[in-house]
Structure 1
């Protein structure tokens, strides 16, 4: 066998590269994981150490790799002249364009639809939305931190499902679908602003708005996942 690279991340990368040849046929399965171990020429014990849950961990690594590439492309692109809705659309488009083989994504959607892996799939979607908002400079520090990511997770997941079945040249239909979904979110946000600005409703919104301001985002989203923290009493 060849010499192994240093670090579990490198081992996982090698396993992922090898597994992608088998996923279209075997899915993100134990069979694909074992084939990747053999093709990458890695000791099974080391492979299991790097990926304790086997192919599930590789599927999550594949998703994270796509997020990394999206962030890299966004960092290299001047978005300053774009409206926020167009920046979001660009980010989602970049994310989907990182995919070389739709079947790997389709197999991943099947895997994370299973009840035992649904939480992993939801967390991966949330992390994608969080990375998009972070790179776009979101500075929200209350309940809006959560609502923005929840809305974007819904837009992204529905767009992925549409894109998987889209056979139009250049995925033209997908980008039109994405535009409609973002427009829907923007209309809802405009409606929320109108409700909050309505003078007759302001007395009824004092309590809910105060509570919303007390909800704080995680200090370390990448490490802490979804939960938020309440602002301590007496804090400014």
Structure 2
């Protein structure tokens, strides 16, 4: 992704704070659109498909947590939470629901712009047809995945459709921890929509990855869910 022209949805109900964030983002070359409540934010997300969202927690009509959960249900749009909450439990909640980054108020707007650019750069390769995380390569068009060995040879992975969906979904945001509920919503057919089934599919996926040489690629994050290891 060319982050210099990225569209950022700024969701903030305090007018002065929103103006400062927008001013710094636009100074960095980003395009912006603003929403002052949760429902408007979701409408704009659906209509405009922004490249990134900066999202306050305390919003009218719908909380930032609910907005984030719905954005994650729809896909993998990067989200940076901007909030006055600085307790560890709130940071854990942000990661569990699916935030890509977390900035505590009061913050420096220059830092927000820098974080936005960093997140966009980090997920930039996720919009192509081939994802590469560590030694694992995922071809979205052919629904094929493989592990690349030290000699450059590819070991193909014999994945089920659900295993492939889970791997591809996580690879689109490889630094983020995914909850079981999110993986169920995003990757499993309705008839399988029980959180315990995520463990079964992830266990089989992990075994196949390890057999192909990607040891420890899928990691458990206590109290959150699962994350990919980019160094595996």
Between Structure 1 and Structure 2, the one with more strand by share is: 2
Q: TM-score, normalised by structure 1?
A: 0.30
Between Structure 1 and Structure 2, the one with more helix by share is: 1
Q: TM-score, normalised by structure 2?
A: 0.30
Larger radius of gyration: 1
